Chains A and B, each alone.
Chain A
Amino acid sequence: MALAKHSTFRRSAGLVSLLLTALVALLTFLSASPASADEANMDEPFRVSGNVQNKGEPLEDVLITVTGPGGYEVEVETDAEGKWRVGVPEEEEYEVTLDESTLPDGVAVVEGSNVRTVEVGPAGRVSTNFFIGVGERNVTSFFDQFVERLATGLNFGLMLALASIGASLVFGTTRLSNFAHAEMVTFGAVMAYFLSVAIALPIYLAIPLAVLLSGVFGLAMDAGLWRPLRRKGLGTVQLMIVSIGLSLALRYIFQFFIGGGTVQLPGSNSPQIPLFGAVSLSVIDIVSMAISIVVIAAFAFWLLRTRIGKATRAISDNPSLAAASGIDVDRVVRIVWIIAAGLAGLAGVLYAYYRPGIKWDMGAQILLLVFAAITLGGLGTAFGALVGSLIVGTLVEISSLWIPADLKYVGALVLLILILLFRPQGILGRRERIG
């Protein structure tokens, strides 16, 4: 079906780019008139507020960004009295950043830095005031910002890759678009939490054990659900919807156990290591990247060199041929599930440090990015998924240099849509035969 209707395809591709251009124009138009909210997220239970003044005079329309655990991020602008207020979800530390480029020319934050850390205490509210005067601004050079984003993006991309490779292997061998892969990611993080916090194992034991448990979880899902369903001969769409049901069920089971908030793994506040200029990475970032790289390399060796790895690729290529040539498809698929779940679990642990924090729907937050990465690389090819993840990870981080942070996933999702538009069979996929 991908073959048909090429002429209308051209025409409509033109039409679509027209519509997209119009949409972009509309967005730029809308964003040209700055939003002026002096309050945001007021339905959250706790408050962070403050005041911005230049020698006692209030400053209006200064952009304040508050970030906190769980990827929480909100922006407000000061009102005519220089005041702002945001609601935050937890009693935790938050970082308040004043965007100096929104100050009038020639002035800067004079007491302390333009970035502050505040802690919401038992009172449930905290405030911080910025005093502005003539002075030097704290600017990070564009290059430094870029490098920092690139490093963060690579870290994120490697972590995504751990999740995507498994999902793509599962898709390749069983044609299942597994929505519950998100919950396999969360599972790893939740297990690490239970082992390290509830059972109080040291973290260097808790993480490998969590990954091991994830693998067992994958085995259980294959044996208890997916293999029987393959036997029953469910179509790909049916399987996909079953995975959606599973995803919902698991997600809320996690919420049942860890609640609706964010919980932290030990050591999530690791020290920053300055690299050069204003660029710094935390110890955790560096360790996390190293782990990802080692694991991915080991995985590549497995896929390329071992017998099972080769069989896996053969099945992805042509399942019936592989079965006919004596490969035990069920056994290979079982192993693929174990590996996919183990990798996803590890991704979950690393993601918990990256966000930072563990939340019941954390996997679902990156599921579409995982799909984007897989599609970008060509469905069902593990190395495609790796490349796709790195691209998506860096794209998400680097694009936030230009677009607001709360829209940073949009770039990756639009990319996903565009790939499917211009190469519906994926980058390495094949077209289907007609007739």
Chain B
Amino acid sequence: MSSDVTPNAPRPKSTGLHSGPIQPGVAKVDPIIVADGIKRTFGGLTAVDVDHLEVPRHAITALIGPNGAGKTTLFNLLTGFDKPDAGTWSFDGQSLSGKPAYRVARMGQVRTFQLTKALGLLTVLENMKLGAKEQTGEKFWLSLFPGFWRRQEAAIEEKARELLVKFKLDAKEADFAASLSGGQRKLLEMARALMTDPTLVMLDEPMAGVNPALTQSLLDKILDLKDEGMTVLFVEHDMAMVRHIADWVVVMAEGRIVAEGPPADVMQNPAVIDAYLGAHQELDLGVVTGRHTADEVE
């Protein structure tokens, strides 16, 4: 399995993303997201408690942490799907606090969900077309007259087909999304998110449930996004993959950011090993996160 994720021709990582000594909450040279004092509690449980976080632009940042660390909750907060008890955050210099989810998405910060939300009752192509932004035909009165939107619709369809080819879903375009496999749905959700021409793509466990044979191509897709000028923030449990594609890693545990830094450094950080392993310090991270057996990793 680990051979799957060994790149044939590794692409260069972005470096020099931070300024000042590496520590949780370190300032970035060119941050796209800046968050301050974000706190979210559910009853007595503090799910997220982040003092300061900056996400570097034009880089791939991984958000890791044990189950229940608050990663998804932080995603929900940053994208306007949930409301924090306290805190402010901005995207591309504009404050996002209190902005509803759809506005966040319109500004170019688009997300996918840990539990995939492919729209099963629409066809694959319709799912894709739904992603496109600023459609004339989505306005109530104009939608009544195809003359206003037919041309734009054709352009959207073309773009959707191109993306579907890239994601190897073109053969399925006329099928209801409900007929796709779990991994294919993940792909579709990601491709659909790209239809919005985002600046920041936030992926919640994009690789979970995806067939190992597909992971390599999915990782390449994520690396392509960076090459196309987008910023990626993703949640992942598999350390090998994180090591492979991330330029920067942020580690959460019990709602807090306990460490961040370039992947190689973070893996050595005692705070991270602590957070993940507790008592089992002799084990490798890849083993604990359940992707590898001990003898596969050396």
Direct contact of A and B (CB under 8 A): yes
Interface positions of A (Cβ within 8 A of B): 3-8, 434-435
Chain B residues near A3: list those with CB within 8 A.
76, 81-83
20 more A-B contacts (CB under 8 A) besides A3-B83, A434-B113? Answer: A3-B76, A3-B82, A4-B81, A4-B82, A4-B100, A5-B100, A5-B101, A6-B83, A6-B100, A7-B98, A7-B99, A7-B100, A8-B100, A434-B81, A434-B82, A435-B72, A435-B81, A435-B113, A435-B115, A435-B204
Interchain nearest-CB distance for A273 vs B (Å): 49
Instruction: Give 16 pairs: A residue, B residue, CB < 8 Å, sorted on A.
Output: A3-B76, A3-B82, A4-B82, A4-B100, A4-B101, A5-B101, A6-B100, A7-B98, A8-B100, A434-B81, A434-B113, A435-B72, A435-B75, A435-B76, A435-B113, A435-B115
Query: What residues of chain A lie closer than 8 Å to B181, measured between beta carbons?
Result: none
**B99 neighbours in A (Cβ, 8 Å):** 7
B:78-97 near A, CB below 8 Å: 80-83
The answer to whether B114 has its CB under 8 Å from any CB of chain A is yes
Indicate whether A435 sits within 8 Å of B114 (C-beta atoms), given known contacts A3-B81, A3-B82, A4-B80: yes
Give chain A residues whose Cβ lies under 8 Å from the Cβ of B98: 6-7
Name the residue of chain A whose CB is nearest to the CB of B79: A435
Report Cα–Cα, A363/B98, bound state, in Å. 45
Q: Which residues of A contact B100 (CB under 8 A)?
A: 4-8
Query: Which residue from chain A places its CB closest to the CB of B99 in the assembled complex?
Result: A7
* Chain B positions 231-249 with a Cβ under 8 Å from a chain A Cβ: none
Q: How long is the Cα–Cα vector from A373 to B82 in the complex, in angstroms?
A: 29
- Number of contacting residues on B, CB 8 A? 15
Q: Return chain B residues, CB-CB under 8 Å to A5.
A: 100-101
CA distance A325 to B87 in the complex (A): 40
Nearest Cβ on chain B to A426's Cβ, whole angstroms = 15
A5 CB to closest chain B CB, in angstroms? 5
A-B pairs, top 7 by smallest CB distance, nearest first, are A7-B98, A6-B83, A435-B113, A5-B100, A3-B82, A434-B81, A435-B72
- CB-CB under 8 A from A6, the residues of chain B are 83, 98, 100
Please give the residue numbers on chain B whose beta carbons come within 8 Å of chain A beta carbons, in ascending order: 72, 75-76, 80-83, 98-101, 113-115, 204
Q: Which residue of A lies closest to B75 (CB)?
A: A435
| A8→B103 CA distance, assembly (Å) | 11
Question: In the complex, what residues of B have CB within 8 A of residue A435's CB?
Answer: 72, 75-76, 81, 113-115, 204
Q: How far is the CA of A203 from the CA of B101 in the complex (A)?
A: 62
Roughly how many angstroms separate A435 CA and B112 CA in the complex, as a whole number? 8
Q: How far is the CA of A176 from the CA of B265 in the complex (A)?
A: 53
A3 to B101, CA, bound (A): 11
The complex places the Cα of A5 from the Cα of B104 at a distance, in Å, of: 11
Q: A53 CB to closest chain B CB, in angstroms?
A: 62
Q: Whole-angstrom distance between the alpha carbons of A5 and B82 in the complex?
A: 8
Docked complex Cα distance between A435 and B72 (Å): 7
A7 partner residues in chain B, CB cutoff 8 A = 98-100
Complex Cα spacing A3 to B40, Å: 12
B101 contacts across to A, CB distance below 8 A: 4-5
Q: How far is the CB of B157 from chain A (nearest CB, A)?
A: 29
Which residues on the A side are within 8 Å of B80 (C-beta)?
A: 4
A10 to B114, CA, bound (A): 29
Nearest residue, chain A, Cβ from B80: A4
B178: min CB distance to chain A, Å: 15
Which residue of chain B has the shortest Cβ distance to A8 in the bound complex? B100
Residues of B within 8 A of A4 (CB): 80-82, 100-101
Complex Cα distance, B75 from A384, in Å, reads 34
Complex contacts, B204 vs chain A, CB 8 Å = 435
How far, in angstroms, from A434 to B40 measured CA to CA in the complex?
14
Do the beta carbons of B76 and A434 come within 8 Å of each other? yes
Nearest B residue to A3, CB-CB: B82
Instruction: Chain A residues near B115: list those with CB within 8 A.
Output: 435
- A5, A8, A434 — which one has the most chain B CB atoms within 10 A of its CB? A434
A7 CA / B104 CA spacing, docked (Å)? 13
Q: For residue A10, which residue of chain B has the nearest CB?
A: B98
CA distance A8 to B98 in the complex (A): 9
Chain A residue nearest to B117 in the complex (CB): A435
User: A378 → chain B, closest Cβ, in Å?
Assistant: 15
Min CB gap B75→A, angstroms:
7
Complexed CA–CA distance, A385 and B82 (Å): 29
A434 to B83, CA, bound (A): 12
Give A315 Cβ to nearest chain B Cβ, in Å.
21
Query: Nearest Cβ in chain A — how far from B147, in angstroms?
Result: 32
CA distance A429 to B98 in the complex (A): 24
Q: What separation, in Å, do the CA atoms of A435 and B113 have in the docked complex?
A: 5
Task: Specify the chain A residue showing the minimal Cβ separation from B102.
Answer: A5
Q: How distant is A430 from chain B, measured CB to nearest CB, in Å?
A: 9
In the complex, the chain B residue whose C-beta lies closest to that of A6 is B83
Q: How far is the CB of B40 from chain A (nearest CB, A)?
A: 10
Q: Most B CB atoms within 10 A — which of A5, A7, A435? A: A435
CA distance A176 to B298 in the complex (A): 54
CB distance from B115 to the nearest CB of A (A): 7
Q: Quote the shortest CB–CB distance from A203 to chain B (angstroms).
A: 50
CA distance A177 to B152 in the complex (A): 44
How far is it, in angstroms, between the C-alpha of A8 and the C-alpha of B113 when the chains are bound?
23
A317→B82 CA distance, assembly (Å) = 23
What's the Cα separation between A434 and B76 when bound, in Å? Answer: 8
The CA-CA distance from A5 to B105 in the complex, in Å, is 13
**Residue of A whose beta carbon sits closest to that of B103:** A7
Complex formed: what's the CA distance from A434 to B81 in Å? Answer: 8
Chain B proximity of A435: nearest CB distance (Å): 5
Bound-complex Cα distance A246 to B127 (A): 37
> B98 — nearest CB in chain A belongs to which residue?
A7
A5 to B103, CA, bound (A): 10
* Complex Cα spacing A4 to B75, Å: 13
A159 to B75 alpha-carbon distance, docked (Å): 48
Chain B minimum-CB-distance residue to A1: B81
Query: Which of B72, B82, B101, B113 lies at the interface centre, i.e. has the most chain A CB atoms within 10 A of its CB?
Result: B82
User: For B75, what are the chain A residues with a Cβ–Cβ distance below 8 Å?
Assistant: 435
B114 cross-chain contacts in A, Cβ below 8 A: 435
Assembled-state Cα–Cα distance A169/B113 (Å)? 33
* B95 CB → nearest A CB, Å: 12
**Nearest CB of A to B118, in Å:** 14
Q: Smallest distance from the beta carbon of A240 to chain B beta carbons, Å?
A: 20
CB distance from A410 to the nearest CB of B (A): 33
